[in-house]
Amino acid sequence: MKSTLTALQMIKTHSKFVQDVRYASSGDHFASVGSDSKIFVYDGKTGDTVSEFTEGIHKGSIVSPLHLKSWSQLLI
């Protein structure tokens, strides 16, 4: 059986460990949270950073993103 490999893109936005990554069901966006108290939202197709929450939002590690009814809540 022939297997297909997909190229991966390394994204280096967090300065400490990434704790979790969640994808929108549409595949349009995904978000990462980390030990650096930061949240990043990315374009699901290109991996480009769409939004970031990095200043004064949280004081400690973030281990899981909130379950959002709409990803537009993060795309501010």
Q: Which pair of structure tokens corresponds to residue 43?
A: 């374009």
**pTM of the predicted model over 0.85:** no
Q: What range defines the domain where residue 38 resides?
A: 18-65
How many domains does the chain divide into? Answer: 1
Higher-confidence residue of 64 and 14: namely 14
Residue-level pLDDT at 61: 80
For residue 5, tell me if it sits in a domain. Answer: no
Nearest one of 20, 18, 28, 17 to 50, comparing CA atoms: 28
Sign of torsion over alpha carbons 11, 35, 68, 52: negative
Say yes or no to pLDDT of 1 above 60: no
For residue 9, tell me if it sits in a domain. Answer: no
Summarize pLDDT for 4-62 with one digit per residue, the tens. Answer: 556 677 889 999 999 988 888 888 888 898 898 888 999 988 999 998 887 766 677 87
Residue-level pLDDT at 76: 43
